[in-house]
Amino acid sequence: MTPSKTTFLDRDHSILAFNERVMDWARRGQVPLLERLRYLCIVSSNLDEFFEVRMGAHLGAALTNDKNGLYTVASYEGLAAKTHELVAQQYAIYNDELLPLLEKKGIKLVSHGERNATQRRWVKDYFVNEVQPMLMPVGLDPAHPFPQVANKSLNFIVRLTGKDAFGRENEVAIVKVPRSLPRFFQMPVVKGSKQSHFVSISSLIRSHLGDLFPGRQVTEFSQFRVTRHSDLAVDEEEVKNLRTALRKGLQERHYGRALRLEVSAGCSEFLSRFLLQQFGLPEMALYRVPGPVNLVRLTQLIDKVDAPALRFAPFSPGWPVQLQRGQSFFERLNQGDVVIHQPYESFDAVLAFLREAVMDPDVLAIKQTIYRTGAKSELMELLREAVQRGKEVTAVVELKARFDEEANITYAERLESVGAQVVYGVVGLKTHAKMLLVTRREKGKLRRYAHLSTGNYNPGTARLYTDISYLTADQTLTADLEQVFLHLASQSRLPKLNKVLMAPFYLHKAMVERMQTVADATKAGQDGRIILKMNALTDEPLAKALIHAGQQGVKIDLIVRGACILAPDVPGVTDNIRIRSVIGRLLEHSRVFYFRHGDQEELWLSSADWMNRNMLRRVELAWPVTDPQLRQRIMDECLTAYLHDNQNAWALQADGRYVTVSSQAEGKKMPPLSAQGSLMQRYGQ
């Protein structure tokens, strides 16, 4: 049977379903209270990005009344209804569960009506001395039209009675709240008290809005926030300098098309309709929220609270089990490849490898891809030092790493300033591969050493994301990487690679071929098995290849953290395919692809998800793990453990719903197993 439309699920609804699973952690009573609040913040951040990147085309279709295209009025209305539902659940958890529990622990957001006289005096003084000088109310009239409102900024809209200083009855004013102002302030409490009382910037300003308009009366007001389209679009073939064009685009990003308007739950019809008209938005783009319009900023409150008992117990990753502290990486890699399973094992070992390469006088050249490295990067400083020590440094910097463009432009300029060779990859393709290649002179000959990874060179996310780092001195593999770097720098034709699979040239086709090989062998009577772990599966040709393999009898398990368009367990179509998602304390990020037929097996690690953009519009790498012991370790830790997880796993159903996987299976009580928890216990210090 060929795949039908019912076999494929809607990608955008699948993204929202992922956020429902994340939000489940905010509901869990066994999760520390401040961490529950943090999960709520994560959902808000994810929804912001969903609107900024995914919602624009749907809204455009709604505004033009398109009913037949890829994006339609119906697609917009369906997504808007679902996001409204998610937002309502968020604020219900926030107001009905988390705030009361926090208050029981002595942590309270004190509203104006709840403040005692001492607290009101403190708030008044703070407003007058620290906040009011930063505010510039704008009364709207023909000379003062509606101001530009930046993406996701906090603002107030105010309706006034009376006349202004010139005798005019301009009744609407806008107050922008500068981003430089903290969103939460801790108020003084009685000495010796264990209470922690806070006031939000929105509550503080709303308490004193009248002070901003002397001689007039505020009759209506609301905080508001607009989310705008923020996916940078630069035609690389039309611009002479990509870096300059991106800098300009970054300035304009804050003022893209409006997509969502958030206001206070009590915002009047007059003010809400006024704002919708100003931003050119339909009614379904209005979100009335009973609380702060930006829950993401609650992370500031979380960081201010001194309550270790309300957070996850600190986790300290162990030093990689295959490495000895103080041992030369070059000596160790000449004995065999090394796997580092982050964050259970420390990312510091990767920095130590680069540091040794920078300091070693026998190292002649260092080449590295830069995608996301974080705001303050020791890695970038090491590359600068390598240049200053006389080494040839080549950095392939991806300027279009979404929401990291500005940091990467700055890093590129700093590397260039000391003499590094900086290139920006291939026109029209993002360089998403993570690779570091070191060339060293040993006994009169050149020898290469490499680091490959499923994740980014970012020490911050390396503590929170599960990824595989792979260190090797394999001559064939490192020679392939040399060719990849040469291709990216010179844009010359890529020769045939011996071990590495590279997108957009070979990776997509190679994955399809491997699925076909397993399918053919299974049809011929061999035992066939495919297990894949990734962040997203949205590429239809790859999904169809999986369906075909399953129909030939291949047993297929997919561990897909986020969006997944393939529906399992559709009778006669995907009977042999099971799909699960694991959402835990750590963000699942590693990509592992396993294929077996009979006694022939392959395991690949990759930087690529199974998405059309990764396979056909990005530079991505996949590489084989050929050492039997390392392959078995990755199988055990990244695949088998996750297929047996019954604490944090969700099973995808044929209709697109996800249901929790219980330790109570088929009437048998299984011991509780958390893949992440077991690995943290195994490797943590």
Task: Say whether 499 sits in a helix, a strand or coil.
Answer: coil
Residue type, 113: G
CB 672, CB 644: distance < 8 Å: no
Distance, first Cα to last Cα, the chain: 52
| Strand boundaries in 523-680, DSSP class E | 528-534, 555-560, 577-582, 587-588, 591-597, 600-606, 618-624, 649-652, 658-660, 664-665, 668-669
Mean pLDDT over 649-672 rounds to 84
If you average pLDDT over each of 238-242, 395-399, 416-420, 564-568, which comes out highest?
Answer: 564-568
**Pairwise CA distance, residues 450 & 93, whole Å:** 47
Residue 36 in contact with residue 98, Cβ under 8 Å?
Answer: yes
Query: Per-residue pLDDT for 403 more than 60?
Result: no
Question: Is the confidence at residue 251, as pLDDT, over 90?
Answer: no
| pLDDT band with cut points at 50, 70 and 90 for residue 662 | confident
Q: Does residue 21 have a pLDDT over 50?
A: yes
> d(Cα 299, Cα 245) in Å, to the nearest integer?
33
* Contact (CB, 8 A) for 582 and 11: no
Calculate what percentage of the chain has a pLDDT beyond 90: 75
What is the chain's length?
685
pLDDT-derived band at 235 (thresholds 50, 70, 90) equals very low
Question: Of 381, 447, 466, whose CA–CA distance to 415 is shortest?
Answer: 381
- Give dist(CA 212, CA 131) in Å, integer: 11
pLDDT digits (tens, 9 = 90+) for 576-625: 999 999 999 999 999 999 999 999 999 999 999 999 999 998 889 999 99
User: How does DSSP assign 235-290, residue by residue?
Assistant: -TTT-S-HHHHHHHHHHHHTTS-EEEEEEETT--HHHHHHHHHHHT--GGGEEEES
Q: Three-class SS of residue 637?
A: helix
User: Which of 39, 45, 12 lies closest to 25, judged by CA?
Assistant: 39
CATH number attached to the domain at 329-496: 3.30.870.10
What pLDDT band is residue 237 in, cutting at 50, 70 and 90?
Answer: very low
CA dist 410 and 416 (Å) reads: 10
> What are the structure tokens assigned to 80, written together?
């808007």
Q: Give the model confidence (pLDDT) of 438-463 as tens digits.
A: 999 999 999 999 999 998 888 888 89
Q: Give the residue from 145, 151, 152 showing the smallest Cα distance to 256.
A: 151
Residue 449 is which amino acid? Y
What values do phi and psi take at 561, rounded to 5? -65, -50
Token pair for residue 241? 């300098």
Determine the Cα–Cα distance for residues 463 and 374; give it in Å rounded to an integer: 12
Question: What's the mean pLDDT in 182-197?
Answer: 85
d(CA 120, CA 118): 5
Mean pLDDT over 142-170 rounds to 82
CA distances from 153 to 255, 353, 411 (A): 11, 41, 27
pLDDT over 70 at 241, yes or no:
no
The conformation of residue 94, written as its DSSP 8-state character, comes to I
- What positions carry a catalytic annotation? 432
What pLDDT score does 539 carry?
A: 96
- Quote the CA–CA distance of 169 and 162 in Å, as a whole number: 6
Q: Identify whether the C-beta of residue 534 lies closer than 8 Å to the C-beta of residue 566.
A: no
Nearest to 557 by CA among 541, 574, 538: 574
As to burial, measured by CB atoms within 10 angstroms (0-12 exposed, 13-18 middle, 19+ buried), residue 188 is: exposed
pLDDT 10s digits, 85-130: 999 999 999 999 999 999 999 999 999 889 999 999 999 999 999 9
β-strand 587-588 against 465-472: which pairing, if any?
A: parallel
- % of residues, the chain, pLDDT over 70: 91
What is the structure's pLDDT at 231? 67
DSSP 335-401: T--EEEEETTB-THHHHHHHHHHHH-TTEEEEEEEES---SS-HHHHHHHHHHHTT-EEEEEE-TT-
Pair 529, 537: CB distance under 8 Å: no
Nearest to 465 by CA among 628, 584, 622: 584
The pLDDT value given to residue 408: 66
Cα–Cα distance measured from residue 462 to residue 348, given in angstroms and rounded to the nearest whole number: 9
* pLDDT bracket for residue 162 (50, 70, 90): confident
What is d(CA 619, CA 18) in angstroms, rounded to the nearest whole number?
Answer: 26
Task: Give phi and psi for 265, each to the nearest 5.
Answer: -60, -35
Q: What is the pLDDT of residues 547-574, one digit of tens each?
A: 999 999 999 999 999 999 999 999 999 9
Do residues 312 and 339 lie in contact, with contact meaning Cβ atoms separated by under 8 Å? no
In this model, does residue 376 exceed pLDDT 80? no
User: CA 436, 442, 445 angle in degrees (round to 5)?
Assistant: 95
Determine phi and psi for 550, rounding to 5 degrees: -60, -35
Distance, in Å, from the CA atom of 281 to the CA atom of 272, rounded to the nearest integer, reads: 11
pLDDT at 212 over 50: yes
Closest by CA position to 149, among listed 182, 123, 177, 122:
177
CATH class of 5-310: alpha beta
How high is the pLDDT of residue 246? 47
CB 137 within 8 A of CB 172: no
Q: What is the pLDDT of residue 420?
A: 83
Q: How confident is the model at residue 670 (pLDDT cuts 50, 70, 90)?
A: confident
CATH code of the domain made up of 503-683: 3.30.870.10
Binned at pLDDT 50, 70 and 90, residue 668 comes out as low
Look at phi and psi of residue 143 and say left if phi exceeds 0, alpha if psi is from -120 to 50, else beta.
Answer: alpha
Which H or E run includes 102? helix 99-104
Cα distance between residue 132 and residue 169, in whole Å: 24
State whether residue 308 is helix, strand or coil.
Answer: helix
pLDDT given at position 234: 45
Mind listing the pLDDT tens digit for each residue in 460-512? 888 999 999 999 999 999 999 999 999 988 888 888 999 999 999 999 999 99
Mean pLDDT of the chain: 90
Contact 25, 581 (CB under 8 A): no
**Is pLDDT at 196 greater than 60 in this prediction?**
yes
> What residue ranges do the domains of the chain occupy?
5-310, 329-496, 503-683
Same fold, 5-310 and 503-683: no
pLDDT in tens, 47-78: 999 999 999 999 999 999 998 888 999 999 99
Q: In what order do the strands lie in the sheet with 107-109?
A: 107-109, 196-200, 184-187
Q: Which of 371, 372, 370, 332 is nearest to 353 (CA)?
A: 332
Q: What is the DSSP string of 293-307?
A: S-GGGHHHHHHH---
DSSP state of 186: E
Give strand ranges (E) for 86-203.
107-109, 138-139, 155-161, 172-176, 184-187, 196-200
210-219, 514-523, 664-673: least confident range: 664-673
Q: Which of 584, 576, 592, 585 has the alpha carbon at shortest distance from 535?
A: 592
